[in-house]
Every structure is written in structure tokens, then in C-alpha cells.
Structure 1
Amino acid sequence: MIKYKSISKLLIITILIVTGFLFASNSKILKAEPVYFSVTISDDATPAVVARILEAKEKPISEISFEKGTYHFYPDKGYEKFCYISNHGDLMVKTPFPIFDFKNLTINGNGSTFIFHGVIIPFLIDNSSNITVKNVSIDWNEAFHSEGLIVANNEKNKTFDMQISDEYPYDIRNGEIFFIKEYYEHSLGQSILYDPERKAIAFETEKYTNISTKSKTSITNNIDKIKYKYGVDTKDLAIRNVGWENRAKVEQLKPGLVRVYGHKKELPPVGMILTMKGSQGYNRVSPAFRITQTSGFNALNVNVHHAGGMGIIAENSSDLILDNFNVTPSKGRMVSTTADATHFVGCRGKVVLKNCTFQNQLDDASNVHGTYQIVVDIIDEYSIGVRMGHHQQQGFVVGQPNDNLGFVRLSDSFDPYDKATIKNIQYLNGRYQIITFNEKVPSNLKTGDLVENLDAYPEFTVDNCNISNNRARGLLISTPKKTVIKNNYFSTEMEAILIPVESSSWYESGSVKDLVIENNTFQDCQHSGFNRGVIRFDTDDDNQNIAFKNIEITNNKFNQFDNLVLQIINTDGLLFKGNTITNSGSFSMLYPENPAIKIEHSKNIKFQKNKYKGKANIILEADENLQSLKFR
């Protein structure tokens, strides 16, 4: 006779054996495998790549590799998703690489070139971890910008003539020129001059560009009576053109040769190349990499030759390392990416750029910052309503549960006056969110104050990089975490390094507290015409509050055509040591009256063992609080 207890034990053992067998079987089935694509898909690789990636939940992937070759990717059969993209347009985008919820994935091009067509994001990476992209070059078949050679100008009639190659098809509608691409077009819009001999931004381009494309509308009726209940961003695409009309008129003299009327600045010199990328707010639609909510991203031996936006835009991600990640133009173009080479918003952990080249992009080499949100409602003791200040921050994820948010009133201090941890965030729309805290909000909180995520800043390192020939700055740094900028070469048309607090337009938060700039070479920066330092500290708010602390600038070489090298403001603790300043003679001086160094609203500034061989009549100019300070 078999007892029930024995039957129960037998049943349990049987269940365990069967369960173990099934688990082992499932483990075997779900084991990640490498995927290999050959050049047979190169005519349009999008469908095959998308199809296999979308099968990954049932058939996990450890590596996607490509036979070395040239692959074309079209948007028509790409995976579609609506994206709010920080510092870009918000739009429905298509991608051949929808990397969502992946872990431990490598994408290896094996030296291949990926050529993209139209409005498409090559790599869309979200909510993933330990992702590596390596050994690949990224380019576009048709550029998102256009170029024209200045062949004549007429001072009397205030016109200039521009030769446009067949690479940049166009049409002219009611006197306005539009450049036609695959799946895309742009107006003249934002523009800047390049010097084709130097393949760099033209000297003193600010005298000539931007080309004047807008003027006040000549006829309006009652638009001043339109009132808004809530705050309005005048740069928002819905209203930015109110009160403005097209000023620049274009006529075709013969195919490929056009004449431009209505420019207000000086006429661009003959022989220069005018690069044009369309109207601001509409011309950032296709970054090469968009990374969100991802922990661990590595790019190794990656070349980005072009993109209709940034080379990489990373948001709310951590531990990103770019090694030999190069942004350089191809096909004889003056321009690589039409915006920043790299950009990091609300990231944490470590961000490392090493052995990289960032050249000819139409904005900064890198920008690292958080975001300010404006307090517009104090709902109760635990909840507030916040508004995104800039239209290109819409949809940005402010933080996650238990992150520390700081409350900031910049008129009093650049540092938070209090903080609280997030309980949850209700995203009502792209611009307005309700944040509920675990603790009571400060009793002295006011509408108009700002909040910033104190946990969403990374340590930042830039090592052995070449940053040159681009529009705008080299590095914008707004993180209080340890930052080291070393062994780099800078030659930029604006500041090589800008340390800002941008609180009134872009609402980019972060105040530098621990920065080392060492062993770098600065060659002829600020050559576009701005009267600013090569390294500049700056705040939007005109007050004397301390914003920056613990800065070391050591053992650098400044070889400049002009005088002003360093502008210090609102700083407590800066050491300038072992630096050499010389005059290059590369260009004529624009501001010979400037000193080499300007200091305002600062304290604990030290100069030690520096060498000055420049041409400034006064090396150091400081406000009344530092009259005893000497350059040494």
C-alpha cells in the first residue's frame, strides 16, 4: 500500500524534474546568438536589419555584425516612433536600428560604411544597457545642408552672386530659395562662411553672416491684442514667425548661378563658401545616434561624416565612452554634422571622450549639462507644476523616483537653497509636468523659481582630442562633478571652452565646481569676430553671486592672433599656472585694446609660473576687488 505522503513526495520530485527540464530547454532556446549580415542586403539594408531586431525577444541577439562593404539605409521600411529629442525637432522618426530594451549587445560594422537617405536616425537606443557600436562609418547620400561659392558681389546694389553645384538641387518660390533633398528640403536659413583653402570657418565671418533672411512684417492688424494666459516661448515653432517676413530675395541668373538681394551685413567675399542649413527650429531632424535611459554605451572606431543634427545626443543615460569617435566631413563638403558633434543632457556616471576628432560641425564639439524647469504652480505641500523653458526640451524626463531635485533662485544664489526627492512625475504634456515629492516642498518656494536634478550630472573627461574648424564653441561644460580636459588641440571660431550657467534661453543647468584644464594647445580660437576669451566663464544672470569653484588651468599653450585669452567671472578659487601665451600672427588683431585676462566678481584667483609673449599692453585687468592681483 502506497501512502499519500509518498505519492506527494513522488509528485513533487516529478514536477521539479519536469520543470528543470523545461527551464533548461527554454534557457537553450533563449540563448543570445550572433547575427551576421552580408553585402547582399546592401541595396537597402533597412528591412532585413529591422526584421531581425524585432525578433530579438524570441531570438535574443548578442552581436550584429556586417560583412565589410557599403550599405544603404532608406527610411521607407524603417521602424517608426514619435520622439521628443532634446535640442532637436520633435517628430515621427524612422530607424533601421530600434535598439529598445537590449542588454549586452555589440553592433560591429567591420569597417563598413553605412549611407543613409532622408530623415532617418541611424541608431535609436532606449532603455538598454551595455551597448557597443564599433568599426563603422556613417554618412548621408545627400547632405542636410547646402553650399554655394561666392563668385561676385555688388556694393552699390547690395547683392551677391552664388554658384551652386549640381550636388545641391534647388527651386525658387516667390523669390525664396529652397534646397531639395531626398525626403527633405530647407530654406537658406541659418548660414555661415567657410574658407575653402583652410577648410575652416572664415576669418571674421560675423561681419558677413548670418545672411539676412527676415525682417519685420510690413502689414499687421491687431496682432498686439493677442494675449496669453500662461508664459510663452517666443522661439516656439507655432509662433516664432509672427511679425516676421522673408527679406532675402533670390533670382536665378542661369542654372546653378543665383543672385541674393536684401542682405543687411557686409557682403560675403568672393571665393568664400556659404553653407546654409535652413531655419532654426526646423533643421535638426536626424542625429546619427539618439540614446535615452541607457546604462553603458561604448562607441569605438566610429566615424560620423554627416548628420542632420548632432553626431550623438544622449539623454538621461550613464557611463558613455566614445573612443576614436570622429566627426569629419566627406565628399569634399565643408560641413560634417549640422549641429553639435556630441551632446549629453541629464546624464550621470562617467562621460569620456578620448582619441576623438571633431571637425567642421556647425555647432559645439560637446555640451554637457542638466536642465532647469520653471516652477509655475505650487499645488500643495508635496506637489508642484513645472514647465520646460525651451521648446526643444519638450518631453524631457526630469528625473526618476528618489532623485534629488534642487530648488534654485538665481537672484540669490546659483546653488540650490533646498532640495527634495522625487516620489513620482505625472507627464501631462511635453511641456508641463506635475512633480510629487517624498518630502514637503520648501516653505519659501515661489513660482518662477527653478528646479534641477542634482543627481543627473556626470563626471566628464576629454582626452587627446582634436577640436577644430567648426562653428561655435569647442566644449560647453555645466557639471559640478569632476571634469578633466587634457592633451587636446583646439582651433574654434568661438570659445574653445565655455563654462556657462544658461538659465534664460536654453535653460541648461549645471555649475562647474571641480575642473582641470591641462596640457592643451589653443590655436587661433575666436577668429570669427566675437570679442570674447578663448576660455570664458559666463552667467545669464547679471549678478555677483559665485557660480564656479575649484578651477585649475595648468601647462597649456595659447597661440593666439588676438589678445583676450581668459575671461573669469563669478568664480571662487582658480589657479592659472605654468601656461604659455604667445601671439601667432595668423590673422590681423580684431581687438588690440584688450588685455590677455579679464576678471570680474571673483576671489581666490592665483597666477603662478606663467610665460607671456603676446602683444597686449595690459596683461591682467581685474575689478576693484582684485586690484592687488598680479600676473606671474
Structure 2
Amino acid sequence: MDYTRSKYWISFLLICFQCATLKLYGHIGKVVNDTMCYYVEQCGIKGDGLTDALSGLNDLIACASRHNIPVKIVFDKNKAYRIDGKGKDLYRRIFLNRNKDIVLDGNGCTLLIHPSSRAFAVYRSENIIIRNFNIDYSPLPYTQGRVTKIDSKNYYLEFVVDQGFPLPIVGDETYYKGGKMVDCITANGETNKFYQGHSWVKKVVKLGDRRFGVKYDLCDQKQLRIGDYFCMKVEYPFPDVLKNQDAENKKELNEWLFTNWGSIEALESNNLVLENITSFASPVMTFLLRGCSHHKIRGCSIIAKPGRIVAGCSDGIHLKGNEHQPLIEECYFERTMDDAIHIKISGDVIAEVLSPSRFRIVHMDNESDNTNLGVGKEVMLFDRKELKQLAMSKIIDYQAINHREGIVTLASEIDGVSKGMCLYLQGIGKALIDRCNFGTQLQRAILTHQPTKVSNCNIVDNGKGFDLALMSEGIEGPPTQFLQVENCLFENLSYVGLCVDCPSLNYDQKGKPQLLIKNCTFKLPKDIPILQIKNSQGVSLIGNKYYINKGSSKAKLFEFQNTLLIEDSNNTYIER
């Protein structure tokens, strides 16, 4: 048999195998416009909101993804698919593993998820579109109730749990460890607006049928009144997180395929589109993308259902280590227990200097995070103690030890390099955030470290509008870079309109002016600063409107420290 005929028979047998496997679902996909289409409702997967659909969905994805043409999987309109977390499926989420050219179209369906599980994970995949889903959790991953007693001096309160919400787990700080998992918030009992001030739970005591006492820490919550809301996370047991045991590619060795953080999570994947997704609850972050590039988040919402105070128990969108910066457009975010959007590329610390141009590095962020360094990529070498840039250089050789460690060789020798200094991968392009709206959040609408352009957005009832700073002792970096803000509204913020804290003037801030604010409107409460800017290489303010209280001091509204005001033109001050 010649090569051509052998190739034909191999392909034929492969298709027969795929068809036989997919017949288990009572349906074989059909090709429409060069795309293989599957309809979940015809595959024996129930959308009744009760039957665990996860294993069937993952089996369908595994079988359908064997095709060499694009695949589209369409869910049944308005159905509810249960992801229970108690079945035999090891992934505890819909999992795309090294897949390519797949569209998952929810068609307006709801994923109803147990809090020990999640919605989606995407691992080392390309050209994936996830669209038209509603995401909710049952039971809810947090509890909520009305405050009945307040002792802010001693960081103590009591509350009665609302009907329909889970009860908190009674325990003390030996049980509640790692404040990330036990964040709590308070909210105005009439307006439902979050009170600002981050706290976490230290101890919970049962006082009655649905009444509990809470000892908390960090913020004293002095603004709290009887009848206001108290909400706190409720932790559920998580399954073991799977790791990649691939020994052929050291950069993937022991790499976490996903974590238990994001409701929708992607790692090392390119050209991912998240579109028209509405999330009503999330145990931790809602969208988490790590080490991805060319990603788009479009038309998505994080919103609380009526009667609920919280829509997400941590960041709304958390993007880290993504070399190519994102497009985020036409989205709405409210009621997250942290930031609506956080964009960063965390640092890699020099663990050993092998030569002036060659170092052993270890990634600084969480143990599940990857270094994203590699040949041809540009890095900033930054001295965290002196708060200055030593060099900007290209990587000419990279030898992976595992997914977090490696040997870096730069194109040039660096004077004064020493152990403990950082390498910060330089992002490509600007993060673009356009036509988004931000309702009440615990902390910020946008926290970004990358060059970013924000346009046509409304930021209302947040703590801070935007925040730029080098955080967590340099782990969350790089040092603050360029920000352009156009045609945005900042209204009723609790702390400041925009806060830009650059560690020094001795590094590349990617622009001069480093901060450009144009055609924006600021309507802030009395004595709340419009801008707080430190160590910036320049600020330009053009065509903005500032609504200020009579007698307000401009010096207090615009707090500039070691910063040059490059342009201040066509701005209007309106007394009220």
C-alpha cells in the first residue's frame, strides 16, 4: 500500500473511532462552513440544574477536539448545567487542555456551580472563544446578613444571617488562616454601597440560631451602623490541584494546570476571547489569566442578583504575566471584594549571580505562577533597595529549570548586579480598557502596572478610581508605567480619583508625560483629592471638568510630590 493510501486509511480509521466514541452521546457532530458543530442537548447531557453535567461536557470536549478543523460546541438555550464538584471528574471544571480553534457558545445558558468547583480552565491552548454564559454558584461562596451589634474599638461585630445564605463556619484564627480566603466587607443597609476599608475575619462565634459574633482585623469599620450589611467568604473544601509532570519540557515541569482561584482561568494560552459572560458570584477571582497573550474580554459583566450584596469574593479581572496586553471593552463590574481590574507582570528575583550577564532567577509571585521569561524578550533589571533601574536588556539565552526557575543570559553585562534584584518582563503594547462601567467595589476600579489607556468609562462609588504602584515589596510589578485616561467620569469615590505612586524617577516610565488625563469629569465628595501623584516624570491635564466645593483648596485636590506638571490647559472648575 503506497503512502497516500496509507494516510487515507489512517484518517478514515481515526474518524471511525471518533464517531464511535461520540455515539455514546447519541449524536455525531456535523460540519457547517468548515467547522465541526456539536449541540450539547443532542449529546445526552442534561441541563436541568440538578444532574451533574461536568463529566459529560469534558468527555465531549476531549472527543470533539481531536478534529483537525475548528470545533464549535453549542449549549441549549436558557438551560442550567450543574457543575457539582462531587462526581468522578478530576478537573472539577470544564477543562480545555492543549486545544486549538474551539468555540464554546453557552447560548444564554447558566452554569450552576458548587463552590468547590469552577466554571472553566484553559491550559496551553490557542484560539479559544468562550461566550454567552451566565455563571452562578449554589450554595453561595459567601454569607450575608444584617449587623446587630458593633464594637469597632475592639474590631468586633454581631450579625444575623439572611435567609437563603450559608452559615459561616465557627472557628478561630487557627482555622481561618491566610486572610485571602476570609475577606469580609460591610455595606450601607439602605444604598448597599460598600464601605471602604479592607478587613478579614479572625474568629467566628455562634450566638444563636442564625446569629454570630465576628472578630476581625485590619480596618476598624467605624462607619458601620446597626442594620448595615456584613458579608464574609465561606470556604469550601477544594480538590487537589493537578500539576504537569511533563519531563520533556522543563518549563512545564510541575506546572499547575490551573488553580482554585478563577471562575474562568487560563494559563499560557494565546488568542483567548471571553465574550458576553455574566457572573453573579465567584468564590475568589472571576476571570484569571496568567502568562497569556492577545486576549480579549468583551461585553462581560460581574453583577449581583437582587438581594445579594456581593458579586465576587476577590478581583473581577486579574491578569498577571501576560506579555501582550489585553483589550477589555463594554464590560460592567460591581460588588467585588477587591479590585475590579488588576493588571501586572510580577517580578523574577535573582537568586544567584553567575556572571554580570547571567543569573539564576526564581519567580516571586504565588507558587502556582510561572515565570514568563524567554529568549528574545525584553526585561528591566531593577534594584528594589535603591528603587532604580540598572538596565533594560534582551534575553539571548534561557535555560529552564522548571516552570518557576531558570538561567537567564542577557545581551549585555550589567554593572552592580547582585542577588535580590529583580527582572521585570516588559509588556508589549498598551492595555486597552474602553467603554466599561464600574459600580461599588471594595477597593479600586483599576489597579495597573502596565502601560494602559482607559477611555469612555464611568467609575462610580469605588474606593479609588485608578491606582498605580509597585506593591508587595516588588512582587507585583513592574514599577508604575504610562497611563492615559480620556473621556471618563469619576464620581463619588471614597479616597482619591487617581493615585500614581512611582518608586522613583530613575527608571523607564514608558512615557513623558507619564500620566495624561484628557476630557474627563471629576465629581468627588468634599476634601477627596482628584490626583495624588508621586515621582512621576510628568503629568498633563487637558480639557477636564472638576466639580469642587466652594472654598476647596486646589493644592489639596492636586497633590503632586516630586512631579512636574507639563501641561494644564482648557480645564474647567465648577463650584457647587
Residue 149 of structure 1 and its aligned partner are, at CA, apart by: 0.8
Distance in 2 separating the partners of 1:45 and 1:338: 25
Aligned counterpart, 2:21: none
Query: Match for residue 383 of structure 2?
Result: 409
- Mapped to 1, the partners of 2:373 and 2:470 lie a distance apart of 20
**Contact 2:480 2:501 survives alignment (8 Å):** no
Cα deviations by residue, 1:445-482 (Å, 9 ceiling, x for unpaired): 2112111112x4442111111111111111112123xx
Distance 1:157 1:401 in 2: 54
Aligned pair partner of 2:199 in 202, 205, 210: 210
Give runs of aligned pairs for residues 269-288 of structure 1, distance below 5 A: 269-277=225-233, 285-288=260-263
> Residues 198, 443 of structure 1: CA spacing in aligned structure 2 closer, same or farther, 3 A cutoff?
same
Q: Could you tell me which of 207, 210, 221 is aligned with 1:256?
A: 210
Per-residue deviation, residues 135-170 of structure 1 (Å, max 9, x unmatched): 110111122222121123468998643111243443
CA–CA separation in structure 1 for the residues paired with 2:180 and 2:370 = 28
- How far 1:502 moved relative to its partner? 2.8
- Conserved? CA contact 1:100–1:125, under 8 Å: yes
Higher alpha-carbon deviation: 345-354 or 462-471:
345-354
Structure 1 match to 2:57 = 49
Unpaired segments ≥5 residues, structure 2? 19-30, 239-258
Residues 318 and 160 of structure 1, relative CA distance in 2, 3 Å threshold: closer
1:477 maps to which of 448, 472, 475: 448
| Residue equivalent to 1:121 | 118
Aligned-partner Cα distance in 2 for 1:187–1:603: 38
Give the aligned partner of residue 316 of structure 2: 341
Deviations 1:64-108 (A, max 9, x none): 11111111111233643xxxxxxxxxxxxx333211121111001
Q: Tell me the secondary structure at the aligned position of residue 5 of structure 2.
A: helix
> Which of residues 434, 446, 449 in structure 1 aligns to 2:421?
449
Aligned mate of 2:87, from 51, 57, 77: 77
2:457 maps to amino acid: N
Contact kept in structure 1, 2:542 and 2:570, CA below 8 Å: yes
Alpha carbons of 1:504 and 1:278: their partners in 2 closer, same or farther (altered >3 Å)? farther
Q: Which residue of 1 aligns with 2:76?
A: 67
Stretch moving more, 323-332 or 16-25: 16-25
Q: Is the 8 A contact 1:545 1:570 kept in 2?
A: no
Percentage of pairs with the same residue: 15
Note the C-alpha offset of 1:197. 2.4
Secondary structure of the residue aligned to 2:52 is coil
Matches of 1:544 and 1:21 in 2, distance apart? 65
- Determine the structure 2 residue equivalent to 1:562: 526
Distance in 2 between residues matched to 1:190 and 1:24, nearest whole Å? 54
Deviation at 1:129, TM superposition (A): 1.3
Residue of 192, 195, 198 corresponding to 1:199: 192
2:323–2:425 Cα contact (<8 Å) kept? no
TM-score, structure 1 normalization: 0.74
Secondary structure of the residue that 2:430 maps to in structure 1? strand
Does the CA-based 8 Å contact 2:424-2:477 persist in structure 1?
Answer: no
**Whole-angstrom CA distance in 2 between matches of 1:192 and 1:461:** 30
Question: Does structure 1 retain, via aligned residues, the 8 Å contact 2:137–2:282?
Answer: yes
Q: Which residue of 366, 374, 377 corresponds with 1:400? A: 374
Aligned-partner residue type, residue 449 of structure 2: S
Map residues 94-173 of structure 1 onto 2, 5 A cutoff: 94-153=91-150, 160-170=157-167, 173=170
Tell me which residue corresponds to 1:571.
536
- Using the alignment, how far apart are the partners of 2:179 and 2:562 within structure 1? 44
* Aligned mates of 2:564, 2:188 — CA distance in 1: 41
Once residues 128 and 260 of structure 1 are traced to their aligned partners in structure 2, the CA distance between those partners, rounded to angstroms, is 44
Alpha carbons 1:287, 1:311 under 8 Å: kept: yes
Contact 2:179 2:200 in 1 (8 A): no
SS state at 2:60 partner: helix
Moved more, 396-405 or 465-474: 396-405
User: Kindly tell me: are residues 557 and 370 of structure 1, through their superposed partners in 2, closer, same or farther at Cα, counting changes over 3 Å?
Assistant: same
Q: What does 1:412-423 correspond to in 2, within 5 Å?
A: 414-423=388-397
Q: Give 1:199 shift.
A: 2.4
Judged with a 3 Å threshold, the aligned counterparts in structure 2 of structure 1 residues 172 and 393 are, in CA distance, closer, same or farther, namely: closer
Which runs of structure 2 are paired with 1:462-611 in the superposition (5 Å)? Answer: 462-480=433-451, 483-502=452-471, 504=473, 506-513=475-482, 515-525=483-493, 527=494, 530=495, 533-539=496-502, 541=503, 543-545=504-506, 548=509, 549=511, 550=513, 551-563=515-527, 564-583=529-548, 595-603=556-564, 605-611=566-572
Distance 1:296 1:65 in 2: 20
Shift of 1:487: 0.8
Q: Which structure has the larger Rg over C-alpha atoms?
A: 1
TM-fit CA distance, 1:580: 0.7
More displaced stretch, 562-571 vs 351-360? 562-571
In the aligned structure 1, how far is the partner of 2:539 from the partner of 2:440?
A: 29
CA RMSD of aligned residues (A): 3.5
Worse-matched range after superposition: 127-136 or 499-508? 499-508
The amino acid across from 1:504 in the alignment is E
Q: Report the residue type matching 2:290 in the other structure.
A: E
Measured after TM superposition, the shift of residue 544 of structure 1 is: 4.9
Is the CA contact 2:454–2:486 (under 8 Å) kept in the aligned structure 1? yes
Q: What is the aligned residue count? A: 524
Letter in 2 for 1:18: R
Contact 1:191/1:210 (CA < 8 Å) preserved in 2?
yes
| One-letter amino acid matched to 1:460 | A
Q: TM-score, normalised by structure 2?
A: 0.81
Q: Contact between 1:399 and 1:422, CA under 8 Å: does it hold in 2?
A: no
Counterpart position of 1:37: 40
Separation in 2, partners of 1:189, 1:339: 10
Deviations 1:295-345 (A, max 9, x none): 111122110111111111111111111111111122521111111111211
- Letter of the structure 1 residue corresponding to residue 199 of structure 2: N
Separation in 1 of the partners of 2:321 and 2:181?
Answer: 33
Task: Report what 1:362 is aligned to.
Answer: 337
Per-residue deviation, residues 411-452 of structure 1 (Å, max 9, x unmatched): 56654514241523433585xx23232646535321121111
Q: Which amino acid aligns with 2:462?
A: E
Contact 1:338 1:363 in 2 (8 A): yes
- For 1:574, the aligned partner's letter is V
Task: Give 5+ residue unaligned stretches, structure 1.
Answer: 1-13, 81-93, 180-184, 214-247, 616-632
Relative to structure 1, the CA distance from residue 260 to residue 317 in structure 2 (aligned partners, 3 Å threshold; closer, same or farther) is closer
1:8 — aligned with what? none
Q: For residues 53 and 156 of structure 1, do their structure 2 counterparts lie closer, same or farther at Cα, with a shift above 3 Å needed?
A: closer
The 1-side partners of 2:175 and 2:165 are apart by: 10
Distance in 2 (alpha carbons) for counterparts of 1:558 and 1:146 = 35
Cα distance in 1, alignment partners of residues 204 and 132 from structure 2 = 45
Please list the CA deviations of residues 264-323 of structure 1 after superposition, one character each: whole Å capped at 9, or x if unmatched: 9348311111111269xx9x9341111111111112211011111111111111111111
For residues 56 and 564 of structure 2, the distance between their equivalents in structure 1, rounded to whole angstroms, comes to 61
Query: How far did 1:577 drift?
Result: 1.0
